[in-house]
Structure 1
Amino acid sequence: MANKNYEASAWSVAWDWIKAIAIALIIAFLIKQFVFAFFQVSGESMDRTLANGERVLVDKIPYYFHQPQYNDIVVFHESADEDWIKRVIGRPGDTILFKNGILYRNGKQVSEPYINGPMVPGDFGPYKIPQGDLFLMGDNRNVSKDSREIGPVKISQVIGRAEVVVFPFSKFKTL
């Protein structure tokens, strides 16, 4: 009789572990799906701010409540197979113009201390951003493939806002 109780007790402990692991996996899935994600920077388009190979924590929560803001660094679905990271330069209804490498948004010059040197060639636009779209650019303008080439990005393609460089640990910083 003692063996039956031991087997029932062992099964009960194993079942508790299975339930705990299943719950943990469901919670991890929900967090990754709706709260946070990790993204690895690929390429030099965000140089000075982000380097090739760095990993960033992407916060998905802010954009449940409001649209991306100017200067947010966002990760978005460029295609079904590829996600990119860029900075928000223009929002719906804005008019973007680059003249001699200087950014003008709605006719006013924009300070951009984060860029990795002046843009060459320096002229683009004027371009009016359609409703529901964003104008995104990399900080290393001379090597960045961005809204100047691919066009505006639908707000619905945005995954979230890059918040923190988490790897390598020596490069840890908030964005």
Structure 2
Amino acid sequence: MGWAQPLIIGIALAVIIRSFIVIPIVVEGASMNTTLLDHDRMIVNKMDEPERFDIIVFHATKTEDYIKRVIGLPGDKIEYKNDTLYINGEAYDEPYLDEQKEVTVGALTPDFTLQDTPLKQLTVPEGELFVMGDNRRFSKDSRQIGSIPIDKVVGTTNIVYWPVKEMKIIHN
């Protein structure tokens, strides 16, 4: 019986950690290129509250989770003009897009305001987030699906652990 107690404690800790603290995920698709690549494996932190420019995982449908970057918080007015992000009228630099911009002909992010999206309003609703993929031309995000209720967020992620040669911590 000496080995059973540590085994039971280990299993219980694993269940608690996976249920409430962190979970692994696999990136599927190219919507976050070049920051994240298809099949990258990451750790999702279920404890953090999402902040602007965090990468989050959220329940997009009953069977599908998406991984995107938080651009707008509740109450924010979001718009793009001439490939520049404006939040509440202030221009923001997006260094995580630099690599994409180097290889893209024309604007990476076409001009839009929140009124041009399914939101059809001036600001991000309370209790919701406006998210976008870093691969702006090939991302299904809030520009098409609308804002994301905060209660659909699984957690934040910034640690790629696989493949080993691509292991990194992503700084926003």
TM-score bucket (shorter structure): 0.7 to 0.9
- 2:7 alignment counterpart: 21
SS, match of residue 30 in structure 1: helix
Q: Trace 1:99-118 onto structure 2 (pairs within 5 A).
A: 99-115=81-97, 116-117=100-101, 118=107
Instruction: Tell me if structure 1 keeps the 8 A contact 2:80–2:109.
Output: no
Q: Aligned-pair distance for 1:131?
A: 0.2
- 1:3 alignment counterpart: none
Unaligned runs of 5+ in 1: 1-14
Instruction: Tell me if structure 2 keeps the 8 A contact 1:92–1:130.
Output: yes
Q: Are 2:105 and 1:123 aligned?
A: no
- 2:158 alignment counterpart: 163
Q: Aligned-pair distance for 1:81?
A: 1.1
SS, match of residue 93 in structure 1: coil
Q: Which amino acid in structure 2 is aligned with residue 83 of structure 1?
A: D
Aligned mate of 1:80, from 62, 65, 71: 62
Q: Trace 1:1-175 onto structure 2 (pairs within 5 A).
A: 15-63=1-49, 68-115=50-97, 116-117=100-101, 118-126=107-115, 127-175=122-170
Q: Aligned-pair distance for 1:41?
A: 0.5
SS, match of residue 103 in structure 1: strand
Q: Highest Rg: 1 or 2?
A: 1
Q: TM-score, normalised by structure 2?
A: 0.85
Q: TM-score, normalised by structure 1?
A: 0.84
Aligned residues: 157
Q: Which amino acid in structure 2 is aligned with residue 106 of structure 1?
A: N
**Whole-angstrom CA distance in 2 between matches of 1:114 and 1:149:** 21
CA 1:58/1:120 → structure 2, altered by over 3 Å: closer, same or farther? closer
Taking only the aligned residue pairs, the percentage that are identical comes to 41
